[in-house]
Amino acid sequence: MAEGITEAGGKTRLYVTAALGAGLSVPLSGPQAHYLLHVMRARAGQRVMLFNGRDGEWLAEIDAITKRGVTLTCRTQTQSQAAVPDLWLVFAPIKKTPSDYLTQKATELGVTLLQPVMTRRTIVARVNAERMAANAIEAAEQSGRLSVPEIGETVSLEKLLAGWPNERRLFFCDEAGATATACDADPLAKAARPAPAAILTGPEGGFDPAERALLRGFSFVTPVTLGPRILRADTAALAALAIWQSVKGDWV
């Protein structure tokens, strides 16, 4: 996964892959070094926040600037790596602009995995996983997250369901006739740390009847409604994620 760089609330916040810890050196090169030096006009002694998805968030200081890049040293841990709700978004790929938007918003809303799934009515043939990863990193940097969502390899709906982990509830946003709302469903999960969950949204044309029947046959699937209006695919995904976070996730 590529490293990113972004301004968040006046602080430069960077996702890196290197280990972070008191006194550890973090070398940056390529686009991140370029951004620090030529966009932020950073100098030795300036401070940057770093996170890597494992070691929390660290305040780091720029030590050395050379032709090959920038070296920072971790000074103080500003946040420890906390457990976050384990929430996947499984979605039928959509066009480029709404897909960028969906990646950004789903990252802000705290998903841990973005899983593209091919359905019968999906008309987008190819997922640009690199572009999705870059958007996810940027959104993670800006939103103050301590990790970046994974981007799953695209699979067919049938294959995904065949290998589905039983303990992970799959909330299927069913545009044709669910009765539970995403808020009602599985209220017991509200109590302690939420159980692993996933939201599933279809393509613009919806799921076909055979897919709906297939989904409803699995015990780990809970069909949920998102109201009487026709929502675009990206709207449906974001609405369901927000509702889940507000009822069972880390907004409670």
Residue 175 gets the label, from left (phi > 0), alpha (psi -120 to 50) or beta, of: alpha
Q: Does 246 bind its own copies (CB under 8 A)?
A: yes
Q: Compute CA 167 distance to the chain's CA centroid, rounded to the nearest angstrom.
A: 20
Q: Which one, 33 or 146, has the nearer CB to its own copies?
A: 146
Site string for its own copies, 167-206 (x = CB under 8 A): --------------xxx-----------------------
Give the separation between CA 56 and CA 21, rounded to whole angstroms.
Answer: 9
Site string for its own copies, 121-160 (x = CB under 8 A): ---------------------xxxx---------------
Which of these ranges, 43-51, 88-96, 211-219, 222-230, lies near its own copies under the rule CB under 8 A? 222-230
Which of these ranges, 25-33, 150-158, 212-220, 233-241, lies near its own copies under the rule CB under 8 A? 233-241
Q: Does 250 bind its own copies (CB under 8 A)?
A: yes
Give the separation between CA 120 and CA 160, rounded to whole angstroms.
Answer: 14
Number of residues engaging its own copies in binding (CB under 8 A): 36
Which of these ranges, 124-132, 148-156, 165-173, 230-238, lies near its own copies under the rule CB under 8 A? 230-238
CB of 87 to its own copies, least distance (A): 12
Q: Which one, 28 or 148, has the nearer CB to its own copies?
A: 148
Which of these ranges, 19-27, 69-77, 103-111, 155-163, lies near its own copies under the rule CB under 8 A? 103-111
Six token digits for residue 203: 């393509």
Q: Which of 6, 8, 103, 210 binds its own copies (CB under 8 A)?
A: 8
